[in-house]
Amino acid sequence: MKKIHAAITGIQGYVPEYILSNKELEKLVDTNDEWIVSRTGIKERRILKDKNKGSSDLGAEAIKLLLEKTKTLAEEIDLIICATATPDMLFPSTACLIANKIGANNICAFDVMAACSGFLYGINTASKFIETGTYNKVIVVGCDKMSSIVDYTQRTTCVLFGDGAGAVLMEPNSKGLGIQDAILRSDGGGGEFLKLKAGGSLSPASHETVDAREHYIYQDGQPVFKAAVKSMADVSEEIMKRNNLTSEDVAWLVPHQANKRIIDATSRRMGVGDEKVMLNIERYGNTTTATIPLCLWEWEEKLNKGDNLILAAFGGGFTWGSIYLKWAYDSQK
């Protein structure tokens, strides 16, 4: 019997309209465009301004467009996996809220939480349901309203993040295309360097936690940067080695967009030239779980059936990983 792979068969991104530029941030905190661009590669990011909307609205928009584009009905979907670090609320899960918003109310839906590596954890989880024949049509969506947890008085973090969503449709493939291999890792010891201190069961919201601004992202940038550079490059190199891939075999590196310097270090270690690296950090910043699907969406037209893609991410947890997949369709319109 032929092995069934799980393949991405459709991709769609969604970003809110409002553009927060480096110039505008200069008015909020003591920073400047030159510092932000040279240290991170970011020029602007999108912000969801509507106070009545959360991550589920970003995710639902991406999925509605994806269903339209792939001519899929909501009732055909078997499973929705939502990767997010900014759930609408602790529960119900954002996946359930999204399922309801797109009119799929009788399906399996759950969240995965692996911060910036969430999309990789999500598609790897989805692949198991597909490879085992459990489900045929699975949507994985990465959506984050990072602006809801960014402290716009902190120059060390507020320049980094933006809001956005990206969704993929995944289906079985019997021709050897789709996900080939995955390496996913974590190290909870890194939690102290990148976290949201309050609002969970350990430190529920109180006047004290609000006064101490503990409902905003806390990040000690340097140790996170060092771990990200090493871990993302390590797993990307490892997945190439164990699949006997040379840099020539790799059509595209699709890296998590947290910092251009981290991306450069990863591509250098893989021996992959800049022309094969998907990069849109300058326009969106770090949208956490949405960076990788947003890249795939913007590059869709350049992708060809059979292209070898290496997806790589690093994020809070720490979590990191790399996925090797063979693109399953010709995307030129």
**CA gap 289, 300 in Å, rounded:** 18
CB-wise, 161 or 327, nearer to ligand ACO?
161
117-298-48-205 Cα dihedral, nearest 10 degrees? 0
Secondary structure letter of residue 277 according to DSSP? B
- The nearest distance, CB 200 to ligand ACO, in angstroms, is 15
186 is a contact residue toward ligand ACO (CB under 6 A): no
119 is a contact residue toward ligand ACO (CB under 6 A): no
- For ligand ACO, which residue of 39, 101, 197, 230 counts as binding (CB under 6 A)? 39
Catalytic residue among 96, 143, 173, 256: 256
233 is a contact residue toward ligand ACO (CB under 6 A): no
CA angle (321, 234, 318) in 5-degree steps: 45
**CA gap 36, 156 in Å, rounded:** 10
- The nearest distance, CB 229 to ligand ACO, in angstroms, is 9
Note if 124 is an active site residue: no
Note if 308 is an active site residue: no
- For ligand ACO, which residue of 70, 148, 156, 186 counts as binding (CB under 6 A)? 156
Give the count of residues interacting with ligand ACO (CB under 6 A).
Answer: 25
215 is a contact residue toward ligand ACO (CB under 6 A): no
Note if 259 is an active site residue: no
223 is a contact residue toward ligand ACO (CB under 6 A): no
Beta-bridge partner residues of 138: 79, 170
- The nearest distance, CB 211 to ligand ACO, in angstroms, is 23
**CA gap 28, 80 in Å, rounded:** 38
- The nearest distance, CB 182 to ligand ACO, in angstroms, is 19
Nearest C-alpha neighbor of 81 from the set 117, 122, 132, 131: 122
203 is a contact residue toward ligand ACO (CB under 6 A): no
Q: How far is CA 160 from CA 31, 64, 231, 234, 259, in A?
A: 12, 28, 20, 24, 8
Residue listed under structure tokens 């999500």:
122
315 is a contact residue toward ligand ACO (CB under 6 A): yes
The per-type count for the chain, helices as H runs and strands as E runs, is 11, 13
Instruction: Return residues touching ligand ACO (CB under 6 A).
Output: 31, 35-36, 39-40, 85, 115-116, 155-156, 159, 194, 221-222, 224-225, 228, 258-259, 262, 286, 288, 314-316
Instruction: Tell me which residues are annotated as active site.
Output: 116, 256, 286
